[in-house]
Each structure stands twice: as structure tokens, then as C-alpha cells.
Structure 1
């Protein structure tokens, strides 16, 4: 049964402004595009877009799908504006659970508080008897109460692990754990069961569909028990239901285990295994991103490298042994510069691309290195919407000129894809497009933070379509509306390219379509499908 999609504006994303009248889909593939009258005779049904706007299916190039599902499941405190409100919300939840339960709050950002300070350990312990974890918005720092730390044996005498910090004052725990230290708790919480993983995955996929996303590149395999647990959940929820196209990065700590378990041999467009994932440094919010110069507001601190150069070289060589690429979390300029030197020493195979995720702080030297290497860049445009006063305090105005580049990368011909890093940001691609085009927060009117890095609407949409396909070498089958490509579509009520710029974040998703199947439709909408016999 061949279905003709028509009756609206259909952007191919092959070139600026290029549209077609109709798209003919059969068995999940686009078999032809062009004029309505020429394709009509080949169709057995019509899906009338009723004036809506169809794009290639949007893909989030970097997020943590299970982590996003957890944010939907647990306490979202991302909009809390003071410590007292935070404590009140958590106390209410703590009062209603068993003393052996785990209470988890996600998204705290103390820089939004009237007084930017963390609750003390004593304040956390006073909230109730259950185990408590509060994840900072960057997810590179958590607060834990004494019961949660005791569960994994963290005491005043416990040394900080390599690549992490167990914060102490006068030798006593504060409840603050940074980077590798937080995984001492997060990776060992007893409620991470197969049922739990499936539940958060279902919640995440349903939400991602509602934002028009047909797929995502995710990193989830080292936080939810042995890697077969999350993989089994993806097989059950995503592959069997053919509900989402997941490209899984593999944390270096489980990379070899995943390969040797032969998960890669089970080929499916709904679950692919991608690059080895390595965290090179931390985040700017917790002052753990590795910088060449110290933080402006912390002269004794220049951040933290998670691994030595020798260790990074060993990880990269292991990936190369298996013929694989590498994707690195690198935010600070020192971290980016270091890993680029490693990539230059141990390049991937001909035609392969490594990827730098975030690439948040650059200068001309780093841009020059990027231009010469087989690397693609995984950007999160919404990061520019952070509290900029905080960033200025961290880096100084001079250094922020190289913060969250976009135009500089595209001007050098680099492949760039767009993501949200959900649960860090809301995985709405329209928010990312708005941020890329305006470089400002919603409702603001200034010219933008680092306005020289603003890009066009076409370039911004391309991050989530063509760019998301290019970064995984699938630009020949995904990311455009063309014959032979997957029939993955994101259909909006309004045109991103012509609507008033301030309205971009409010555009509604009409349909999300995967392989020709509508997996999400706005409530109370008629799909306007007409079936008929051939003439």
C-alpha cells in the first residue's frame, strides 16, 4: 500500500527553501517525491496535511533517554528559585515514603536561587528518614543525605575517587559529590530493576514523540546495572514496537563487554550501537570543566580532567581495535585541546568520524585543529540560554567569546548536529532552533549572547535533520525528504522558516511519523487519511 503525503508545505532540507508537492511512501520508505498529479496514480491512499508543514524527522543528536525518563518519573525541581522551596517540596515527598525508599529530585540549579547556596547536610538529613539524592541541573554534581552515602559506605574517611570529588569541610562530609564520586551512589541504587528501566523508557519515548522527535543518540549503558538490562529494555520497548530510532553510544567502562556480548550483531534501524563514549572533563556549573586558565571566581581551580592523556590514549586505541569511533564529552578548552591531540595520534578508519560532544569553549587554535581532523561536533544550542551572569563570573568576558560556538564551526565546513542533552535541557528541538537563531532566553530582546555565533533558521533546522544523520554516517538514508530515504517525518502546525521568530518555541507538533506510521498526533486531530483503489 503506497501512501501519498500532500496538501501542505513539504521541505526536503536538501537545499534552502526547496519544497515538493507530494511524497510517496511505501513500506516505510520514500519511493518518490514531486508533483501531486504525477504521483497520484501510484498511490492507494492519501494523507492530507491540511496545510501543515512537513520536514524530515527531527532527531536529538545527544541525550540520555533513560535519564530523561527518570526526570519525568521523579521530582522535577528545575524551576525552584530558592533553597526553602526546594526543601519544602522534598520534605513533602519524604514524609510519604517508607524509610528504605529512595527519593530523587532532578534539575536543581542553585544559581537561580535568591542566595546561590546548597542545603547543608544537616538540612538534608532533617527532611526525613528515606535515602535522598538531589541531582544538579548539569548532572555532574549531586547532593546526598547521610543515609544515601552510608548505603554505599561513604564516610568522612572515604577518599575522593579519580575524576571525582567527595566534598568535605574540615574533614566532614557536606553531602556534595562531583563527577566520578556521584556514581558511587547513583550506579548502585537498588531500585534500578528491569521494570523500573522499562517504565522510565516508556515515559521518555512518549514525551519525545510529542516534541516531534523520531529518534535520538543516547548514552545509557553504564548507569542502570549490567549493560544487558538497559539493552533489554530498548529491545522490548523500542525494537519490538518499532517506536523510536535509538543510536546508542557506549560508555568506555562497558564498551568491551557490549561488543563481546554480540549485541551489535542484532541489526535494527530502531537500535544501533555507535561510538565509544568518554567523559574528558566535567561541567562549568560545578567548576569541573577543565580549563587552560583558572576560573575567574575560583583562582585556585581550573577544573578537572577525568582521565590522564595516557588513559585517554588507551581508551581510543581500544575503540580502534574494534574498528569503532569515539564520542567525547569535552566542555573546557583544555579538555577539547587534549582529546584532539589524542584523535590526531590515533585517527579512525578512512571515512569514519569521531565526535566532540558540547565543545563548549574554543579559540582560534582549537577551531583550526577541529578543521583538520575527521571529527563532527555535537552541539546543544540551548546551553547558550544558561544564566549568563554565572558564566561571565566563571570565565570572564574575554573567554566567553569562544563559548558555545555554532557559526564558527559551520563556517569551517564541520559537520554539526543538534541535541538537548536531556534531562539537562528540555528535548524540544524548537527550543534548540530558537536558541541557535537568537542566542537568548525566551522573552528577551537583546542581540544575543555571543551574537556573532547566531545561525540562520535553515542551518538550525539542519542540525536536527541532515546534521543528525551526517554525524552517524547515515546522510544517504535519513535526514532529507528524497527517494530511498526513511519515511520519517515531523509535521508542524506552522512553518519554522516563516513564522515570527519569537513564536518558534510555541509551534505545535501535528504528527510524528516513523517509517510512514503516525506514532504521535495532537489530540482531537483527524489524520485525514483517504483510501481508494487505483484507477
Structure 2
């Protein structure tokens, strides 16, 4: 007795071009694939689901995001669509008029590279809007934030303050700019309102609902060292996912890694590798490069940890029997993590994860090939980082920048994510970025030789995400014995022009044989 899915085209993702007419599911597990007639003759069918002529894929999984942060972005002042500085300030002005004095104005997603009027961001512009509200606006990458003078004064920050380790306080000719980079954001953490259980649960509920809408059956997320700490966050995940099924793989921040031993995995919530940040972002010029930034030669970025410190974090993971997942954008930070993994390799059968891998070098690619690592990439970054990234790194570094095809051809296992809320969570925007490599700002294709095939791109979010957590034998494909997680969409993305992929609509999201979303 089970469910028959039919009436569309099923792409198994086992091999390129392999399709089927129907899938039979029992107790949340795929029992068989084949023709509709064949499966009707072999199995007792108690429920039928018509695919409405759509295309079925293995359930898409975002390999790197921040689930609570994604919910927060949907709940807060969204600045991601602002195409001018004045537009952003206008949204802040509107919000200030709606709030009582002393209430926080919180916003997410500004990107000065998208502004058509000006690029210089400064607290004075916020001060002109309000001196009665604390204002905190996080940049799209979340590696930088802009605050007004109200916040600086309340936090006790002044021109004589020193940069914290792993961070930088923005300074100008007239004092502090209000920009806080990397760990400098921790200087205001004590005064920012802390989230309670109700807030976290609302954020998770909002985020998961949105993920379902975009065809995601699960994600790999890093939230546990924030929002009140490990226990509070884990409690919120348990509460929400008990009502809203979602396969959440939780990376464990290195500062709370010991707490992981006190909690058991469940079918929907499991713990993963130890997470750490090796550097920052390209947009904030805090990604750690081996050579200075082309447009700001007085810096080559920020090392969140020095080479030996990062190695000790990896050593700590090994003592706890854990793998590592390291945020690594610049080539020098990539070099640091290769050194650390070579010094402290994982246990046999384990795979470490290197996240982002945006700026590399040929010698580092060759070194990494000999290590048990999965490269966790975000192809949607191509659509938003170009052309501005060229100004920052120069054309001479482009051959190994966002070089997804090079990495796949070198034999790396690669997973695909969005880094939401840094980018939109919609996986089809990431797939589009991988196959088209066109900027949403100017429509140009950057690095056409690095374009992926549609099969390679979709595989990042299916088989690749499963490989990142060593679940490739039960997730990421449509095959007998695999978990019945499906994403059904309104078009055959293997048979259309790449431009049409970004408009893909999800018809149904299925987790363990149960439809959690239907359009």
C-alpha cells in the first residue's frame, strides 16, 4: 500500500537524461520507479498524486544558509531591492515614523554595489533621519553593518577605540563612520535586543514556510552560537519542526562544539561539522587574499584567525570526533585551511567542508584534490557580485574566481547553497547563476568558460548536498530505497533556455512522501 506519483516527467538525477513516468512510495521511502502502467500492475496503490504535467526532481536542499537569519530577513526591513542609497534611507525614514522613540530600526540586505547614486555609506545620513531611534542595518553579506550615532554612543564606541581581533571599526576624516566589519559587530552585541523563544520560533516558521514555497525539503544551516545560545536555538528548532517537517542539518559553531554531545540526532534535526570563519567577504574587502585588493591596495582582507589558530580549531574538532566546515572566501584563507586539514586530517570516511571558495589559485586547487573535502559553493553569487568584484580583485585573478566548472572538472564533490539571507533562498536563482553566469546588474555573462550544464547545476542542490553530509546513499536521487523527498516544478528546465530557469515556479514540495506545499 502506498502512493503513486504520475502525470509528469521524473528526472532521477542518477545519470544525465535518465527519466521515468512514475514513482511508487511507501512509508516515506521510494519503492520503485518506472512506467505508470508497470507500477500500477505491481503495487497496491492507496493514494495517487498527479504531477499536473510538471517535472519532478529529487528534493532540493540548500547546502549553506542561515535559517533563522532568513526568517529574520523576511520579518525585518528588507533593503535588498534598494537600487540607490536614497531609496534605502527612505525606507529607514518610513520605519522611523512608525516607531516610538527608543525602538530599534533593524534592516538587512543593503548592497552599495547596487546603488546608482553613491557608494559611500555613513552614519551621518542615519543621524539626519533620527536621533531618537537606534538603527542597525546589516549589509547583504552580513560581514558589515551600519549603525547610527545613537548606537555608537550607547555602546560606548568612540574614535579612540581599537579594532577588535578579527574585526575593523570604520573610520573617516570626521571620526567613526558607523560601519562595523566582521568581529567589530560584537562591540554592540550587548545592547541589541536579544531574541526570545517566541521570536526564534516565528523566524523559523517564516523561514521554513518560504523554503517550502521554493521547493526546498531541507537545508544545512548555522545558527547555534547566536540568538541566545545553543540550547535556546535547538529548542526552537525542535518546537517548530515538530509541526513543520523540514530536514535541518545543523552546523555547530566551534565555540559551542562541546554542547553537541548533550543532544541526539533525530530524523529531521541532525548535527553536522564544526563551523568556523576563516575570513570575511569580498564586498566588505575582508576576504583574506594573498595579494592586496586592486582598488584598495592598503589591505588584503581580514584573517578572523591566524594560520596556527585556525589549525588549533581543526585540532579541537578532531579531539571531539568532528569534521570541520570553514567559511573561506579568499585564496589566503583557503591556504590556511588546507594547511590545517593536512596537519589534522579527519577520520577515515569523514569529509570536511570548505564553504564559498570564491577566489582560489591553481596551486591550491591541486593541493585540495588530495584531501577528503566537499566544496560548498554558492553559484548565485555570480549574479550579484559581478561586475563589481572585478574592481576589487583585478582581472588577473579572474581565472580562478567563482571557478565552479574548474572545480567539478578537477573531480571535487561540490554542493550548492544560497547563503541566505545573504542571497535569495530560491535555488533556481542559484541554478540559473551556474548555467548562465549573468549578472543581474548588467546582464553580462562573466566567465563563460565556467558555465555548468543544467545537470551539473541541479546536481549541486541534490546529490551534492547529500554528499556534503555523507547521505548520498539515501538522499539526492530518485531511486529505490531513497527517502521520498521531491520538488515538482512547472517546466522542464532541461529543455528550456537558461533565461527561463529563473522564473521556475514550484508546484509541489514533498518530504517523506507527504506534500508540505502545493501551489
Q: TM-score normalised by the shorter chain: which range applies?
A: over 0.9
In the alignment, is residue 147 of structure 1 matched against residue 150 of structure 2?
Answer: yes
Match runs of 1:232-251 below 5 Å: 232-238=235-241, 240-251=242-253
Match runs of 1:393-472 below 5 Å: 393-442=391-440, 446=444, 448-472=445-469
> 1-side partners of 2:37 and 2:181: how far apart?
61
Contact 1:187–1:223 (CA under 8 A) maintained in structure 2: no
> 2-side partners of 1:505 and 1:320: how far apart?
41
Q: Relative to structure 1, is the Cα distance of residues 91 and 407 closer, same or farther in structure 2, using a 3 angstrom cutoff?
A: same
Specify the alignment match of 1:32 in structure 2: 32
Offset at residue 312 of structure 1 (A): 0.9
Contact 2:279–2:327 (CA under 8 A) maintained in structure 1: yes
Contact 1:137–1:424 (CA under 8 A) maintained in structure 2: yes
- Structure 2 residues not aligned, in runs of 5+: none
Specify the alignment match of 2:65 in structure 1: 63
Specify the alignment match of 1:331 in structure 2: 329
Output one character per residue of 1:43-68: Cα deviation in whole Å (capped at 9) or x when no partner: 22211112111110000000111111
Match runs of 1:35-54 below 5 Å: 35-40=35-40, 41-54=43-56
Equivalent residue in structure 1 for 2:275, among 274, 277, 293: 277
Offset at residue 136 of structure 1 (A): 0.9
Offset at residue 402 of structure 1 (A): 1.1
Contact 1:3–1:44 (CA under 8 A) maintained in structure 2: yes
> 2-side partners of 1:306 and 1:445: how far apart?
34
Specify the alignment match of 1:314 in structure 2: 312
Offset at residue 273 of structure 1 (A): 0.6
More deviation, 316-325/384-393: 384-393
In the alignment, is residue 493 of structure 1 matched against residue 490 of structure 2?
Answer: yes
> 1-side partners of 2:517 and 2:424: how far apart?
18
Aligned residue for 1:377, secondary structure, equals strand
Specify the alignment match of 1:341 in structure 2: 339
Q: Relative to structure 1, is the Cα distance of residues 251 and 187 closer, same or farther in structure 2, using a 3 angstrom cutoff?
A: farther
Output one character per residue of 1:264-291: Cα deviation in whole Å (capped at 9) or x when no partner: x2x2121111011110011111111111
Aligned residue for 1:114, secondary structure, equals coil
Offset at residue 141 of structure 1 (A): 0.5
More deviation, 315-324/382-391: 382-391
In the alignment, is residue 114 of structure 1 matched against residue 116 of structure 2?
Answer: yes
Specify the alignment match of 1:105 in structure 2: 107
Aligned residue for 2:98, secondary structure, equals coil
TM-score by length of 1: 0.93
Specify the alignment match of 2:87 in structure 1: 85
Please provide the CA RMSD for this pair. Answer: 1.6
Q: Relative to structure 1, is the Cα distance of residues 363 and 119 closer, same or farther in structure 2, using a 3 angstrom cutoff?
A: closer
Aligned residue for 1:80, secondary structure, equals coil
Q: Relative to structure 1, is the Cα distance of residues 443 and 333 closer, same or farther in structure 2, using a 3 angstrom cutoff?
A: closer
Specify the alignment match of 2:13 in structure 1: 13
Equivalent residue in structure 2 for 1:94, among 86, 93, 96: 96
Aligned residue for 2:227, secondary structure, equals coil
Aligned residue for 2:21, secondary structure, equals strand
> 1-side partners of 2:337 and 2:190: how far apart?
26
Specify the alignment match of 1:4 in structure 2: 4
Offset at residue 412 of structure 1 (A): 1.3
TM-score by length of 2: 0.96
Q: Relative to structure 1, is the Cα distance of residues 481 and 387 closer, same or farther in structure 2, using a 3 angstrom cutoff?
A: closer
> 2-side partners of 1:156 and 1:235: how far apart?
44
Equivalent residue in structure 2 for 1:475, among 472, 477, 481: 472
Output one character per residue of 1:351-389: Cα deviation in whole Å (capped at 9) or x when no partner: 111011000011210110111111110000011112423
Aligned residue for 1:373, secondary structure, equals coil
Equivalent residue in structure 2 for 1:255, among 254, 257, 260: 257
Output one character per residue of 1:200-232: Cα deviation in whole Å (capped at 9) or x when no partner: 111111111110000010011122112111111
Q: Relative to structure 1, is the Cα distance of residues 204 and 187 closer, same or farther in structure 2, using a 3 angstrom cutoff?
A: farther
Q: Relative to structure 1, is the Cα distance of residues 190 and 143 closer, same or farther in structure 2, using a 3 angstrom cutoff?
A: same
Offset at residue 131 of structure 1 (A): 1.2
Aligned residue for 1:381, secondary structure, equals coil
Output one character per residue of 1:82-128: Cα deviation in whole Å (capped at 9) or x when no partner: 22222121011012212222111111111222343334322212322
> 2-side partners of 1:387 and 1:226: how far apart?
32
Offset at residue 191 of structure 1 (A): 4.2
- Structure 1 residues not aligned, in runs of 5+: 523-535
Specify the alignment match of 1:532 in structure 2: none
> 1-side partners of 2:9 and 2:368: how far apart?
37
Offset at residue 185 of structure 1 (A): 2.5
Offset at residue 171 of structure 1 (A): 7.9
